[in-house]
Structure 1
């Protein structure tokens, strides 16, 4: 540990022979894209959406219910406060957002795990908030703390994920008011990657900050972000008291606040992608402005969660062209606002099974998010049933897709080594290049190597039991958990965290609802 309390020890490293299942763990985890972001909209269209967001903020306004402190901050900044509704003159809220940084670091407990948010960076994290889990052996069931810890371990092991997420699943065997303590303890002890803290109560937010101070040191935490808060807007146009109070607690502690409006087109806002984008921008800017009124320079992420609906049945749809177009527009709008962007839903699907529909929905949503230049992708692994379920099998199948996309976003080199001229001296016309020095130098890293897909002759596949992708994925996640090794943590810090959790739990009655 250094002088300001930041943990600097290195985690254990285990060398193993290069196999199909452990090779990618040793490969670099790409975090910066080299393929430029795609701009969907022209200047006129972007200005029209921004003008509509200003219109919403001026004429409709945003309500901050149950949080007099937030209302007082807005009133002091010159906004028009009428009861719990806050309205802004055109351009005012955007001006309040200007102190938010365009790029910042989110520190891991081990410095090598630190990531950058903003610019050309890309941070992937697993699903969030599912009350159920599923796997091929036990089927669909309520999630437990053991499941939560399993997914933190899997995210820690995954080279394609840079972040272990937040409420990866709801540990329903722990009282609601105490869950954040067990979840924070799991994130801090089972992984050294960045993570998210509790937001379901102001006390939960404060407990999360206190536990992070124990793990990283109070002085370090005051100047550096180590975790994020997921602040959901109660769309349309409402921040409830719990969310805005949690926002203020994280902002005061200089921890990253991600503002995430959640708009299902036709239900929480008008139907069109343009209207959803404008309302998302308006709601998000109001929350970002509040973070800056609490603490100028507080790191933020402009988030969104949006989908279309089947307007004949009311069922949510994911990966639809309309939602994907909205994703692409929001990334542009976030860049113009000058803050990092969490746009889109990652590998999301409405499918009830790990099937072709699930992967098609997920691939469509992920492509739009990555091509549009989003900086942080939530729900990048495991999501099923519109978020009701985290699937163990889909989790590892999604990891393969994440890894492939990260590799693709690097493009390819054109230096002398890339052209392999020396190989032509070893293999002339009509000869293969498999044993050339160039091939041998690069064969372990040249191609992305997925862990689940299996090629080869039909006869071999048939003789080996005709296993489908989800069956192979089931074997893979179990192997990963068997191989899991926790990162190092000083005994004094581990003891302090355990004591804090025990004391807080002892002082709280069990609340199950």
Structure 2
């Protein structure tokens, strides 16, 4: 009997040690705001902007280039079509937008990772689109598929990210006409969070839908992708993006209809003028998605930056961009649409103080403006040309602050802490009181990257700056990465699909 008991004690201790040292891959639920949105436009201003947007659609119109089918849809809906110019009668676009849902669920292959986009929710996704990557060891360089896969792994390992994203960086070592297959395969196999589809050509959107059919065992009307459809501002809808939208809308997959605004270059320099153009473009884009399929899920987007009038370079984290982001949020809520905007925007070349200031401004604006889907939430550098590994983990860490801020302030009996106030009284301290003991583990948000050690300890450990600490964090996360479980038959089917599609056509780097 004694021998049995000894073995049980040893086994229990080993189990506890294993539990303490085991890699835990945590993922916080998408943010549910308990704080108010910041509305900066009054009713009169909103009505002026909405009326002006209708005037733009009716008098100036929008261009649907190289897309005869779109022109036919608009003509049948009652628009005035002249060449490629579509003039939309006042009220028609808004009426068509009414069938778009106010919120929707994007399903992940792990149901626990599914997200609801819309309402009071905020879903965070990583940087999208940079052709370059940067890290301390390798500097600035063209991105590869290995870089892409490592970003997907980091996104999967990052607690505060809810979404795997899309083109986290452009893997330039893979042919342009085939890289979407490798990117989708990485999202599907290296993570079990939701992801985005390809939009660079309609056939690639079709590939995205087909691969999701394999991954999910049939879609059955479920929305499993959210994809970015940029408008070629000002007021131009190109055939490539609209072709991808047509594929996704028909398959009930969500699209972000997002004007790409550089104030002073692609929109007026004034906040009100830019908001007018943004709203006109969104109304036309969302309405078109509903012409393809009424009820197709869609998100109102607003990617906004200003311009340095001396150099022509885009600028980020500016007050004007924030004002447009706040105002667009109000317009989205009046339309009853989910809203996409903001991110870890900055123009810095390095993850330095400029990057931190501009990123912080943009992230906080996104939280307070009511954004529902935040693309570029981590990793953005150099105006979106670079995806930075160190900045990815620094930003992903700081997204925890958004989670805590969105919780609001609790005032229940436990939060009032009257027992602590009575226990400590005048002149005491709260470190040892019972209330503190109950809550010290989760009372305050804690960074997993930043250094709060005493100066002497910091110096002994190498006097590391934030980028160096982030480099160590990247290495740690990648070393601890474990792929989520996956049905071997599904994996084999995905591998076969990718191989077959790649073999079907020659490589193209154009």
TM class by smaller structure: over 0.9
Superposed, which structure 2 residues align to 1:98-113 within 5 Å? 98-113=98-113
Contact 2:31 2:406 (8 Å CA) reproduced: no
Tell me, in whole angstroms, the C-alpha distance in 2 between the residues paired with 1:295 and 1:222.
16
Q: Which residue of 2 aligns with 1:464?
A: 461
2:233 paired with 1:235: yes
Q: Which residue of 1 aligns with 2:378?
A: 381
Distance change (3 Å), C-alpha of 1:15 and 1:180: farther
Q: Shift of the alpha carbon at 1:456? A: 3.0
Tell me, in whole angstroms, the C-alpha distance in 2 between the residues paired with 1:36 and 1:156.
30
Q: Which residue of 1 aligns with 2:314?
A: 316
Distance change (3 Å), C-alpha of 1:413 and 1:28: farther
Distance change (3 Å), C-alpha of 1:161 and 1:28: closer
The 4+ residue runs of structure 1 with deviation greater than 6 A are: none
Task: Deviation per CA, 1:328-365: give whole Å up to 9, x if none.
Answer: 10000001111100023x11011111110011111111
Q: Which residue of 2 aligns with 1:3?
A: none
Q: Which residue of 1 aligns with 2:328?
A: 330
Tell me, in whole angstroms, the C-alpha distance in 1 between the residues paired with 2:366 and 2:337.
16
Superposed, which structure 2 residues align to 1:384-399 within 5 Å? 384-399=381-396
Q: Which residue of 1 aligns with 2:269?
A: 271
Distance change (3 Å), C-alpha of 1:27 and 1:210: closer
The alignment partner of 1:134 has SS state of strand
Q: Which residue of 2 aligns with 1:5?
A: none
Contact 1:261 1:283 (8 Å CA) reproduced: yes
Tell me, in whole angstroms, the C-alpha distance in 2 between the residues paired with 1:83 and 1:455.
63
Contact 2:26 2:158 (8 Å CA) reproduced: no
Q: Shift of the alpha carbon at 1:426? A: 6.0
Contact 1:30 1:407 (8 Å CA) reproduced: no
2:456 paired with 1:453: no
Q: Which residue of 2 aligns with 1:359?
A: 356
Task: Deviation per CA, 1:301-343: give whole Å up to 9, x if none.
Answer: 0011111001121111001111111011000000111110002
Q: Which residue of 1 aligns with 2:20?
A: 17
Q: Which residue of 2 aligns with 1:249?
A: 247
Superposed, which structure 2 residues align to 1:5-44 within 5 Å? 16-17=19-20, 26=26, 28-44=28-44
441, 446, 470: which one aligns with 1:444: 441
The alignment partner of 1:122 has SS state of strand
Contact 2:234 2:266 (8 Å CA) reproduced: yes
Q: Shift of the alpha carbon at 1:443? A: 2.1
Distance change (3 Å), C-alpha of 1:231 and 1:42: same
496, 499, 502: which one aligns with 1:505: 502
Superposed, which structure 2 residues align to 1:301-312 within 5 Å? 301-312=299-310
Superposed, which structure 2 residues align to 1:487-506 within 5 Å? 487-506=484-503
Task: Deviation per CA, 1:26-50: give whole Å up to 9, x if none.
Answer: 4743520100111110011011111
Q: Which residue of 2 aligns with 1:477?
A: 474
Task: Deviation per CA, 1:152-188: give whole Å up to 9, x if none.
Answer: 1111111211111110000011000001100111111
Q: Which residue of 2 aligns with 1:4?
A: none
Stretch moving more, 451-460 or 139-148: 451-460
Contact 2:30 2:123 (8 Å CA) reproduced: no
Tell me, in whole angstroms, the C-alpha distance in 2 between the residues paired with 1:258 and 1:424.
50
Contact 1:145 1:174 (8 Å CA) reproduced: yes
Distance change (3 Å), C-alpha of 1:196 and 1:508: same
Structure 1: unaligned runs, 5 residues or longer: 1-13
Task: Deviation per CA, 1:228-256: give whole Å up to 9, x if none.
Answer: 12111111111111111100000000000
Stretch moving more, 362-371 or 325-334: 362-371
The alignment partner of 1:196 has SS state of coil
Contact 1:222 1:253 (8 Å CA) reproduced: no
Q: Which residue of 2 aligns with 1:7?
A: none
The alignment partner of 1:229 has SS state of strand
Tell me, in whole angstroms, the C-alpha distance in 2 between the residues paired with 1:39 and 1:349.
24
Q: Shift of the alpha carbon at 1:375? A: 0.8
Q: Which residue of 2 aligns with 1:53?
A: 53
Task: Deviation per CA, 1:252-274: give whole Å up to 9, x if none.
Answer: 00000111110111111211111
Q: Which residue of 2 aligns with 1:180?
A: 180
Q: TM-score normalized by structure 2?
A: 0.94
Superposed, which structure 2 residues align to 1:96-175 within 5 Å? 96-175=96-175
Q: Which residue of 2 aligns with 1:81?
A: 81
Tell me, in whole angstroms, the C-alpha distance in 1 between the residues paired with 2:114 and 2:345.
26
2:198 paired with 1:198: yes
Tell me, in whole angstroms, the C-alpha distance in 2 between the residues paired with 1:167 and 1:61.
31
Task: Deviation per CA, 1:268-291: give whole Å up to 9, x if none.
Answer: 121111111111111111111111
Q: TM-score normalized by structure 1?
A: 0.93
Q: Shift of the alpha carbon at 1:54? A: 0.8
Tell me, in whole angstroms, the C-alpha distance in 1 between the residues paired with 2:48 and 2:449.
45
Larger radius of gyration: 2
Contact 1:27 1:445 (8 Å CA) reproduced: no
The alignment partner of 2:32 has SS state of coil
Q: Shift of the alpha carbon at 1:486? A: 1.1
Contact 1:258 1:303 (8 Å CA) reproduced: yes
Superposed, which structure 2 residues align to 1:201-220 within 5 Å? 201-218=201-218
Q: Which residue of 1 aligns with 2:400?
A: 403
